[in-house]
Amino acid sequence: MKTKQIAVIASGRGSNFQAIIDAIHTGTVPATCAALITDNPNAYAIERAKGAQIPVIVLDYASFASKTEYEHALLAAMHRVNPALFVLAGYMRIVGKEIVDAFSGRMINIHPALLPAFTGLHAQRQAIQYGVKVAGCTVHFVDDSLDGGPVICQRCVPVLDDDDEDALAERILAHEHQCLPDAIRLFCEDRLTIDGRKVRIR
């Protein structure tokens, strides 16, 4: 099968990025990773990229005068790389409308909750505080809402009586490492169609 090019945008330790690298290496995901783009010059994801010989683009958010200036630089970098798919894997900023519009249907995000519940930051803490019995993760296409784009896949985990935020986050993370590569594989196999709010899997 012909591979597609993807690029990953991340802000932190990059464990989901590593899951993608591993899935590409084993042939589970028919893709090549063209670049890692990060807003954080201290992100451990950079070390993971170097280890896999993936080019790195660092756009230090703190070095820009405004969010608008940063987003213009990010958009320019994304156009230069221009893969089939951008994967937000632990990217800790809301993507602006100009970027969303430029890459509509070509950008996905992983979120540690069963959307539409518990959008935004600290989703695991929100789940614990609300008292739900089931939590999980969601991979979705990115639109101009907060964690609100069409859902590609979800995985569920039980919330245990003695769970704290960290314990639940770790249990969800193990499923993120499976769910995100699965969604990328489906995209690369041309099996996803967006039909309004629904993502159809062929």
Active site residues: 111
Q: What b-and-e string marks burial along 59-88, b requiring 16 or more CB atoms within 10 Å of the CB?
A: bebeebeeeeebbebbbebbeebebebbbb
Beta bridge partners of residue 139, listed in sequence order: 110, 153
Quote the CA–CA distance of 167 and 50 in Å, as a whole number: 30
DSSP state, 95? P
Q: Which two tokens stand for residue 195?
A: 């039909």
Q: Which two tokens stand for residue 78?
A: 């994304």
Residue type, position 114, single letter? L
Quote the CA–CA distance of 100 and 28 in Å, as a whole number: 28
User: How far, CA to CA in Å, does 30 sit from each of 170, 173, 182, 187?
Assistant: 27, 23, 11, 10
151 within 8 A of 138, measured Cβ to Cβ: yes
Question: How many C-beta atoms surround the C-beta of residue 181 within 10 A?
Answer: 23
**Side-chain-side CA neighbours of residue 42 (13 Å):** 1
